[in-house]
Structure 1
Amino acid sequence: MTIPLLIRDIAFYLFCAVIAIQVFYYLFFFRRLAFYKPASRQTTLEHPVSVIVCARDEAHNLVKTLPGILVQDYKTTFEVVLVNDNSTDDTRYLLDEFRKSFKNLNHIALTQEAKMISGKKFPLSIGIKSARHEIVLLTDADCVPASEFWIQRMQENYDDQIEIVLGYGAYHKKSGLLNKLIRFETFHTALQYFSYALAGRPYMGVGRNLSYKKDIFLRNKGFSSINQIPSGDDDLFINKVATAANTAICIDHEAHTLSEPKETWNDWMTQKYRHYTTSKYYKGSHKRWLGMYSLTLFLVYPLLAFSIIFFNWWMALAVYGVRLLVQAIVMYKGMKKLNESDLWGWFLFMDIWMFFYYLFTLPAIWKAPRKNWN
């Protein structure tokens, strides 16, 4: 097959431009997480905290995860607000048993569906409004804190200016390729939202591990502006209210939460479709920054293959090698920061796999989101 010289040249120069943009993202954004060192504090305050958990038919998860929340080693007052959203399983009876031993467990039972409000926003709003304390810490019913110091580590990032603390919601490490793919995608997402926050451009958090002050929720009328969207109780709300001045991150290993990963490809893709349907509602600047990164990442390997075959293989590999070196360093340091170091040996394979991942998730851009949250 004969390719015109002009097309070969254009493709190679486009490849160089794509690599340059990718290197820019790694050096300007992602290095911030990779080389992040929390500021040392002379004194730390302990604030009363309300942990909010929403559950619908989650008794099988709560029996395993709720004890890890209730037995947190936290000297200051904390409560656990469990919003039981129309469960038809044994959740109510399970919570009655827990309340016999843990007086700080506040059970809120919802018995009617909220009209015109999709997803988890209504039960979560009820939980936040019912919270006794100003600082609320959110997690899911299938999440367990990585340590007994989860509350302590998350809340100590607050000061007079900070109103939002972004945490890391990891997945349990198991055998199998799917587990590695899920964990790498989770790390890759966290690499972005933590780094953007450190660069003064916070755009999302994850509901598995997220904290903010009750006042910022009430001041912004809760989820009223996004009630019509099934998802987004975490990322869209943070996208709306987070600023460079009011947002902090917490990546301490003791402050992580752990969830059970999906066990089938279809279940995981369904979950990811639901999450990606909200990204179209991000602020314009965030969509442009995220879109440029995703587009150039998607183009790296097709243009590399074209340049190797039709242009000059050693020049193409030399250009690609620049990105690979920068990426290897940032990935190694970033994975170490988030306790995902075992994935580093897979990062090149995972990087190539991201091309196919974007192909699989592309329909989420126009796909209508599901109306239920569980």
Structure 2
Amino acid sequence: MPPLGLLLFILLTLVCLVQLYYYGYFFRRLAFYKEPAPRQQSLQHPVSVVICARDEAGNLTRNLPGVLLQQYPTTNEVIVVNDNSVDESRYVLAELQKTYRKLQIIELTQEAKLIDGKKFPLSIGIKEARHEVMLLTDADCVPATEHWMFRMQDAFAPGIEVALGYGAYHKQPGVLNKLIRFETFHTALQYLSYALAGKPYMGVGRNLAYRKGTFLRNKGFASINHIPSGDDDLFVNKVATKENTTVVIDPDAFTLSAPKQSWTEWRKQKARHYTAGKYYKAGHKALLATYTATFLLFYPLFIASLLLFDWRLALIPFLSRLIVQGIVWKKAMTRLQEADLFAIYPLLDLWMFFYYLVFIPTLWKKPGKWK
């Protein structure tokens, strides 16, 4: 039987090769993504924007005008479902409606029994929408530019039913802000790259679009109504295919959100999001689990190989992964306008090891409530 040190080095090499496969087959697709050739004539679909809000008076005041002031010449409407708010949301929306005629308000005054999260208010908003192309975002989000609506709807060529966008966070001082933005980038690196590889598995409700007909044909959220989260990623996981899904990576189509200001708030937010992962399709769970498992094994195996084997040989897989990762992350971060994070990318990679250790156990916890 080979010595323990050699076995550990062999395992390190195998884990490194799996990681390099993910970078070479999946993640390079986002990093080196080339915009499709422009159409001779851009598409201009009628659009319904749907936003759910509960006790979001401050966010509605700050962010909703950015949605209402989009430069889009074709018919569009903005629907806000005010879900049992007890703050000043009703009055904020009423004042905005006086200025913006396309703002439609739906007031919900009763809770939906046995339907967790925001799926019920979102379903109401979608069913009330007048147009086929629906653009979804959150009350705490603002479009990065006045061309967000145009860029997102332009993705709906014939046959396209789902368009995945990027929901970024505002850049602020501090370590927490960098970690939140990096985790958001790392998640987007996966779901956008997988979609480009023909394996779409999720989207984010901060910036997502699909056809109303797709929603109705798949009976909305009926199969996931018992899960507090999942109105975005689980629905996409159910309906998205290689043929009917596209991505929109134009910076004009990004949205921006205010990040959490404390570690506790962020941890609660991420724990709630991770509980939906166990409901993904088996193939998607296998892909994600393999990547995460090899990510978690890499550093312990590297340290063990340094101590119990030849440290010079142990550096070969370590540096190979670091170099390939650096090339891909640099390009992808630049594309998603997160290039300032690259200066500390080795530290951020190490951080993700501890991040996974903290959040993987939440997959088996009972999800918390939306609000």
Q: With structure 2 as the length reference, what TM-score do the two structures score?
A: 0.99
Question: Is it true that 1:213 corresponds to 2:211 in the alignment?
Answer: yes
One-letter amino acid matched to 1:53 = I
Counterpart of 1:132 in structure 2 is 130
Shift of 1:5: 6.2
Distance 1:46 1:253 in 2: 19
Aligned to 1:170, the other structure's residue is in SS state strand
Aligned to 2:323, the other structure's residue is in SS state helix
Distance 1:324 1:231 in 2: 34
Counterpart of 1:192 in structure 2 is 190
2:30 is aligned, of 29, 33, 50, to 33
Counterpart of 1:312 in structure 2 is 310
Counterpart of 2:72 in structure 1 is 74
Aligned to 2:40, the other structure's residue is in SS state coil
1:242 is aligned, of 240, 243, 247, to 240
Q: Is the 8 A contact 2:4 2:308 kept in 1?
A: no
Q: How does 1:226-241 map to 2 (within 5 A)?
A: 226-241=224-239
Q: Is the 8 A contact 2:83 2:107 kept in 1?
A: yes
Distance 1:241 1:254 in 2: 26
Q: How does 1:221-300 map to 2 (within 5 A)?
A: 221-300=219-298
Distance 1:325 1:43 in 2: 41
Distance 2:54 2:155 in 1: 31
Aligned to 2:3, the other structure's residue is in SS state helix
Question: Is it true that 1:151 corresponds to 2:149 in the alignment?
Answer: yes
One-letter amino acid matched to 1:125 = S
Distance 1:169 1:118 in 2: 23
Shift of 1:79: 0.5
One-letter amino acid matched to 2:300 = P
2:360 is aligned, of 359, 362, 366, to 362
Aligned to 1:233, the other structure's residue is in SS state coil
Distance 2:223 2:195 in 1: 23
Moved more, 307-316 or 179-188: 307-316
Q: How does 1:153-172 map to 2 (within 5 A)?
A: 153-172=151-170
Distance 2:100 2:32 in 1: 40
Distance 2:296 2:168 in 1: 25
Tell me, which stretches of 5 or more residues in structure 2 are unaligned? none
Distance 1:159 1:355 in 2: 39
1:350 is aligned, of 343, 348, 351, to 348
One-letter amino acid matched to 2:47 = V
Aligned to 1:43, the other structure's residue is in SS state coil
Distance 1:190 1:161 in 2: 24
One-letter amino acid matched to 2:213 = D
Distance 2:360 2:248 in 1: 31
Moved more, 315-324 or 166-175: 315-324
Shift of 1:136: 0.4
Distance 1:225 1:352 in 2: 37
Distance 1:263 1:314 in 2: 42
Aligned to 1:237, the other structure's residue is in SS state helix
Aligned residues: 370
Aligned to 2:48, the other structure's residue is in SS state strand
Identity %: 59
Q: Is the 8 A contact 2:204 2:233 kept in 1?
A: yes
Tell me, which stretches of 5 or more residues in structure 1 are unaligned? none
Distance 2:344 2:259 in 1: 18
Distance 2:298 2:41 in 1: 47
Q: With structure 1 as the length reference, what TM-score do the two structures score?
A: 0.98
Aligned to 1:18, the other structure's residue is in SS state helix
One-letter amino acid matched to 2:34 = K
Q: How does 1:32-71 map to 2 (within 5 A)?
A: 32-40=29-37, 41-71=39-69
Shift of 1:359: 1.1
1:11-45 CA deviation, whole Å, 9 max, x = no partner? 11000000000000000000000010121122211
What do you get for the CA RMSD once the two structures are aligned? Answer: 0.9
1:160-217 CA deviation, whole Å, 9 max, x = no partner? 1101000000000011111000000000000000000000000000000000000000
Distance 1:67 1:177 in 2: 30
Q: Is the 8 A contact 2:137 2:207 kept in 1?
A: yes
Distance 1:224 1:340 in 2: 37
2:176 is aligned, of 175, 178, 190, to 178
Shift of 1:320: 1.0
Shift of 1:363: 2.0
Q: Is the 8 A contact 2:66 2:143 kept in 1?
A: yes
Aligned to 2:106, the other structure's residue is in SS state strand
Shift of 1:222: 0.1
Counterpart of 2:13 in structure 1 is 16
Distance 1:53 1:285 in 2: 31
